[in-house]
Amino acid sequence: MILTLDIGNTTIGVCGVERTGQGDYQVRFSRKLPTLGDEADYGPLLAGLLDLEGCPEIEGSVMSSVVPRLDGPVSQAAEGLLGGAPVKIQPGRGLPFAIPHPELLGLDRIADAVWAAKRYPLPVVTVDLGTATTFNVLNGEGVFLGGLIVSGLETGVKALTDRTARLPSVTLSRPEHLIGRDTEECMRSGAVTGTAALIDGITARIEAELGPVTLVLTGGWADLVSPLCLHPHDSDPYLLPKGLALLYDRMGNVESGAR
């Protein structure tokens, strides 16, 4: 089993990924740890999580991160448990790029794109709905063309609440009505239905340039938004860990230890 670690702004995704034998991967478990300060000791948290999953046999680990200050603490925690440091994804690995500085691209976006290029018909657009909503665009040859980044659902709603005097905090859920009948319904529909409409609209504009594309949604808010998207699409909650596991194998898995 491969342990994948995705350090995000809000949570750290921890998954156990197994190879199926047909070039595919199966996620055996998926958990979230809170993203804490850079002085936090992640060793006990990670050990407790693995113990909760019955101490599965882990051959090594692979990590992506959008919070550089936590790379060291999380890497050290994994190394302490597994006997070897996590494999570090190299930005130029696994994809051809048509952008000037691929080394600056978020490693989570690379992992999403690598698995989408392997698993889905090209051209393909992935949309990862997390703290931010990120679009990746690959053309018919699997070349990474770039994408878009917009505020995530919760991020946008929190900004509204924090920067206004009378807008309340709301719990994000599927709106019962498109047209809200009170302030909370308006905010909820604006966030959720608005994100679905954003995805539909941006995908339509991408198709105006590339022709028909495969659209794939992933990330923490994908299940909430997916039913409201009008464009045909797939939803894969494990796009990122599967991409990380694939990159781990492509990089020769020589940098990690085993538990």
Of 149, 105, 154, whose CA–CA distance to 126 is shortest?
Answer: 149
Tokens representing 37 are 């300060």
Tokens 């309340």 identify what position?
168
Is 223 known to be catalytic?
Answer: no
Quickly list H helices, the chain: 42-52, 71-82, 107-119, 153-163, 183-210, 222-225, 239-250
Tokens 């019955």 identify what position?
54
Let me know the angle formed at the C-alpha of 239 by 137 and 86, rounded to the nearest 5 degrees. Answer: 110
Sort 175 into a burial class: Cβ within 10 Å, 0-12 / 13-18 / 19+: buried
* Cα–Cα distance, 141 to 123 (Å, whole number): 7
171 within 8 A of 154, measured Cβ to Cβ: no
CB 21: neighbour CB atoms within 10 A?
6
Q: 108, 112, 128, 236: which one is catalytic?
A: 108
Tokens representing 95 are 């994809």
CB 192: neighbour CB atoms within 10 A?
21
Annotated active-site positions, please? 108
